């Protein structure tokens, strides 16, 4: 998926660049017909460069002298061109291509003048983020990343009887937020575990997952979001409909296995069946075993408390979660009610 996204971006930039250059050529053709001297100036600039380069290669002109003469000649021709344009109501840069991105001229690459290597332009990174977001299934909040997570929405007073934890919900979420930052910063480390968010409805589990997703997409990682019912429906269609439906895209299932971050939201809201448990186990095993050269991390959120979760699911699934996931308990009041 990541490779195809980069290829799409390259194609988009190529189209933008070609469009700008074609429009510039059309403007040239129009003005050169109306003002023939402009065409002559361009030919003279090219000719001057060719003559002096040839003289340098033949050793008939000292390099420094050739450069100075070439620079003076071209500067005079450029001034004449600018005078023709300005005297006829056109800006001096009218004949230059109008690229959407002036930093990279729609190439997506910024070339280093210090020899440190090329870097991706900000326009490329934005296109990458847009594509990653569009392919992620994300329709949840957290679009600004961790900067949008407000810990002040959590109570600052501890109440173990009410919230089920000894510390205050605010202290709890501040610790979770810091660990999630560490998760994103060390995302490619195979030693970093997956994440399980559990806790009552409205305590920020899905929002936190969205913040993590946005931070990782900013860094160029692929993300795929599913509610648990939607995930199992996709698996069902792959298993039982793909062979009988020419329109079925097998990449939908493959992306579940290969995306760098898979978010499974609201685990426990799906209809329980042994087949679904087996499918979930297969996905977790595949992703955990392949989280080596390229990250394949998983975030699971559930409204079910841990004790009920372990009673609800197959022992093998519980084993994978306890062994391969860091578990975080979200606590507090329903934030959605607070924000209404």
pLDDT tens digits, 147-165: 999 999 999 999 999 999 9
Give the CA angle between residues 280, 204, 232 to the nearest 5°: 20
pTM equals 0.74
Residue 86 neighbours by CB under 8 Å, 6+ apart: 92
| pLDDT at 247 exceeding the cut of 60 | no
Average pLDDT over residues 263-291: 87
> For position 337, what pLDDT does the model report?
84
**Assigned token pair, 272:** 């329980």
CA 218 to CA 125: how far, in whole Å?
8
Paired strand residues for 223: 261
Count other C-beta atoms under 10 Å from residue 278's C-beta: 13
Give the CA angle between residues 56, 60, 65 to the nearest 5°: 65
> For position 20, what pLDDT does the model report?
96
pLDDT confidence of 266, banded at 50, 70, 90? very high
CA 253 to CA 211: how far, in whole Å?
24
CA 171 to CA 158: how far, in whole Å?
9
pLDDT confidence of 116, banded at 50, 70, 90? low
> For position 240, what pLDDT does the model report?
75
CA 32 to CA 38: how far, in whole Å?
6
Q: Which residue has the higher pLDDT, 252 or 189?
A: 189
The closest of 335, 306, 340, 308 to 321, measured between CA atoms, is 306
Longest dimension (CA), the chain: 93
Q: Which residue has the higher pLDDT, 154 or 304?
A: 154
Most confident of the ranges 59-73, 131-145, 215-229: 215-229
pLDDT confidence of 26, banded at 50, 70, 90? very high
pLDDT digits (tens, 9 = 90+) for 42-82: 898 888 878 777 766 776 666 566 567 777 888 899 999 99
**CA pseudo-torsion sign 234, 237, 238, 240:** positive
Residue position matching structure tokens 């995302």: 187
| pLDDT at 3 exceeding the cut of 60 | no
| pLDDT at 199 exceeding the cut of 80 | yes
The domains located in the chain, with CATH, are: 2-121 (no CATH), 136-339 (3.40.50.300)
CA 302 to CA 133: how far, in whole Å?
23
> For position 16, what pLDDT does the model report?
96
CA 106 to CA 9: how far, in whole Å?
11
């Amino acid at each position: 998926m990541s490779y195809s996204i980069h290829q799409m971006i390259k194609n988009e930039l190529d189209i933008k660049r070609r469009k700008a250059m074609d429009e510039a050529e059309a403007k040239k053709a129009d003005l050169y017909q109306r003002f023939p001297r402009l065409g002559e100036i361009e030919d003279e600039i090219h000719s001057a460069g060719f003559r002096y380069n040839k003289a340098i290669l033949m050793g008939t002109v000292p390099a420094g002298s050739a450069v100075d003469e070439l620079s003076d000649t071209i500067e005079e021709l450029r001034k004449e061109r600018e005078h023709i344009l300005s005297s006829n109501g056109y800006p001096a840069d009218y004949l230059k291509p109008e690229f959407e991105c002036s930093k990279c001229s729609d190439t997506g690459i910024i070339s280093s003048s210090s020899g440190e290597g090329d870097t991706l332009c900000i326009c490329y990174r934005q296109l990458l983020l847009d594509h990653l977001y569009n392919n992620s299934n994300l329709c949840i909040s957290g679009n600004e990343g961790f900067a949008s997570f407000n810990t002040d929405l959590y109570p600052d007073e501890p109440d173990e009887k009410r919230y089920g934890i000894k510390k205050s919900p605010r202290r709890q979420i501040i610790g979770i937020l810091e660990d999630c930052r560490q998760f994103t910063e060390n995302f490619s480390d195979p030693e970093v575990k997956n994440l399980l968010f559990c806790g009552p409805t409205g305590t920020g589990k899905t929002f936190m997952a969205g913040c993590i997703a946005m931070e990782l997409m900013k860094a160029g990682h692929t993300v795929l979001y599913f509610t648990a019912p939607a995930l199992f429906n996709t698996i069902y269609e792959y298993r039982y409909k793909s062979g009988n439906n020419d329109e079925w895209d097998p990449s939908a299932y493959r992306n579940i296995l290969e995306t760098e971050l898979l978010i499974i939201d609201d685990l426990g809201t799906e209809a329980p069946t042994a087949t679904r448990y087996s499918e979930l186990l297969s996905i977790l095993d595949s992703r955990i075993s392949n989280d080596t050269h390229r990250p394949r991390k998983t975030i699971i959120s559930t409204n079910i408390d841990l004790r009920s979760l372990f009673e609800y699911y197959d022992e093998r699934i519980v084993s994978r979660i306890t062994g391969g996931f860091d578990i975080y308990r979200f606590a507090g009041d329903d934030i959605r009610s607070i924000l209404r």
